Amino acid sequence: MKNIRKVFPGVVALDNVDFSVREGEIHALVGENGAGKSTLMKVLSGVYPVNSYEGEIRIGGEAMSFYNIKDSEKAKVSVIYQELSLLKNMNICENIFLGNEIKKGGLIDWDASFIKAYKVLEEVRLNISPDTLVLNLGMGAQQLVEIAKAIVKECRILVLDEPTSALTETEAETLFNLLREFRGRGMSCIFISHKLNEVFSIADRITVLTDGKTVGTYDAEKLSEDTLISLMVGRELTQRYPTANHTPSNEAALEIKNWTVYDPEIPDKIALNNISFTAKKGEILGFAGLMGAGRTELFLSLLGVWGRKSSGTVHLNGQEITARTPSDMIKAGISYLTEDRKGKGLILIENIIENMALSSLDKRLSHGLIDGDAELSSVEEMTKQLQVKTPSVEQIVQNLSGGNQQKVVFGKWLLTNPKVLILDEPTRGIDVGAKYEIYTIMHRLVEMGITIIMISSELPEILGMSDRVIVVHEGKIAGELPRSEATQENIMTLAAGGKR
Ligand SMILES: Nc1ncnc2c1ncn2[C@@H]1O[C@H](COP(=O)(O)OP(=O)(O)OP(=O)(O)O)[C@@H](O)[C@H]1O
Ligand SMILES: [Mg+2]
């Protein structure tokens, strides 16, 4: 790709970008949120047609003009986007061949499709029948189905835009082994990720984008993680986590006692078993555990949106809270930032103002009217504080880059002035520099006496930020570790169901 320039109203997303990938290499594309990574890949795949950008694309030396995705697919390019695109109510086989059906006499040949589907599923090491509905698959399996879909099209260039953000470590490792195998067959792979350890474990070369410009392309072997970070953010980042200046008080803020909840789908299955814990004022309480351990479900059940409660109490500052709907919880001072920004966090077709002000509306009603000026200025202030990259607060959220959408979710909950802020995977998809900003804001909040509960699957983040760590295993609390004993080893042992 040469001299690629792509402009949106008010935004130069790509400013004469050069990007070249060799045959049979894994090439990582990295850069801060809003740097232009996803946009560059949408140019490559024809999502943005040839007349909507400047510059040229060559594949195998031949100039390409893609008017749509079909065109790029014909040139053997396949892109797996940041937000997966499988149709949940269809089965694996239907998804794999969607828009690319095997036909016989004008009709879809399901027998042949199934046989082929079996074969590609085997190739991606997914031992599931092709007639399984996608909604019954975990994120890792869905990712593999997306890859199977690409293989069926016999792609030569496979693009993965943040493929591992919702995968467990084992799932990510499976994916990487697969990519290495494809590389061995001459396939080129473009890999976008904010997880730099992954980038170094898989990439042969790395291209850095900053503000829509190419900084350079480097051999992964010759680059250190620190150098890469400074290339990305334009300065040295000596620390990944800001130094904490707070001491949690001994006063309880949120107290959960004997919380037991049944699974919403399986009548006799206890999903959360007799959970009790206390989060203190001015504390960052980390919740660690393997994916699926029940951490998200625990907090969703406290909000009354998951499971069938069988016993348990919730106290906030010594007072029992009995009402349990999300809006009652917000009124009481408990806010929950969801891990799934697309599903529950944001209304993508609305602008930043609408989204950020959504949950705090009650607080800014003066005499029953929305104080528009106050709303606008608090949203503008928050947007600035969080360094959301956008031409204005009137930008439609859908047009923001993935990481900047996450910052909007964050801002929305901060505006509710919570006493307890529950953050579920708060920095998923966020670049290293912006992560540091978010951590700094978290520290500021606890210094003000707010309690933060942070669910995270990234151990370094748990270790770097928590005053205390609770480890959840199979719907039970497996153990609690003060900061001094919170080591990677101790947490992993408890998370895997072992004893310390
Ligand atoms: N459809 C659109 N309309 C307007 N602006 C857009 C649109 N798509 C992207 N942008 C803007 O273009 C810039 C590049 O966005 P892009 O999504 O490519 O970033 P990214 O590098 O993928 O970031 P992230 O790591 O957060 O996913 C951002 O400033 C973004 O707000
Ligand atoms: Mg992106």
3-state secondary structure 99-154: CCCCEECCEECHHHHHHHHHHHHHHCCCCCCCCCEHHHCCHHHHHHHHHHHHHHCC
Tell me, yes or no, whether 284 and 377 share the same domain.
yes
Determine the atom of ligand 1 nearest the C-alpha atom of 36.
18
Beta strand residue intervals within 184-269, DSSP E: 188-192, 205-210, 213-219, 252-262
Tell me, yes or no, whether 94 and 33 share the same domain.
yes
Q: Is residue 241 part of a domain?
A: no
Tell me, yes or no, whether 151 and 112 share the same domain.
yes
Tell me, yes or no, whether 99 and 167 share the same domain.
yes
Q: How far is the CA of 82 from the centre of ligand 2 (A)?
A: 7
Tell me, yes or no, whether 380 and 452 share the same domain.
yes
Phi-psi region of 400 (alpha: psi -120 to 50; beta: other; left: phi over 0): beta
The domain boundary, picked from 181, 202, 233, lies at 233
Q: What is the pLDDT of residue 129?
A: 93
Q: Predicted confidence band at 366 (pLDDT cuts at 50, 70, 90)? A: low
Tell me, yes or no, whether 207 and 339 share the same domain.
no
Q: What is the pLDDT of residue 207?
A: 98
Total-model pTM: 0.85
Q: How far is CA 177 from the centre of its chain?
A: 22
Q: For the chain, what is the domain count?
A: 2
Query: Is 38 in contact with 192 (CB distance < 8 Å)?
Result: yes
CATH number of the domain to which 360 belongs: 3.40.50.300
User: How many percent of the chain have pLDDT more than 90?
Assistant: 59
Distance from first CA to last CA of the chain, Å, rounded?
53
Q: Domain residues for 264?
A: 252-495
Q: What is the pLDDT of residue 28?
A: 98
Tell me, yes or no, whether 119 and 159 share the same domain.
yes
- Is the CB–ligand 1 distance for residue 147 below 6 Å? no
H-type helices in 303-448, by residue range? Answer: 326-332, 352-357, 372-385, 402-414, 432-447
Tell me, yes or no, whether 13 and 125 share the same domain.
yes
Q: How far is the CA of 2 from the centre of ligand 2 (A)?
A: 20
Beta-carbon neighbour count of residue 463 at 10 Å?
A: 18
Reported as a single tens digit per residue, the pLDDT across 104-144 is 888 889 999 999 999 999 988 888 999 999 888 877 788 88
Reported as a single tens digit per residue, the pLDDT across 391-443 is 999 999 999 987 888 889 888 888 888 999 999 988 888 888 888 888 998 99
Tell me, yes or no, whether 322 and 421 share the same domain.
yes
Residue among 32, 39, 165 to mutate when testing ligand 1 (max atoms within 8 A of CB) = 39
Mean pLDDT (the chain) is 90
Identify the CA nearest to 55 among candidates 19, 29, 89. Answer: 19
Q: Is residue 239 part of a domain?
A: no
Q: What is the pLDDT of residue 99?
A: 84
Angle ∠(430,436,442) on CA atoms, nearest 5: 100
Q: Is residue 299 part of a domain?
A: yes
- Please give the DSSP secondary-structure letter assigned to residue 467: S
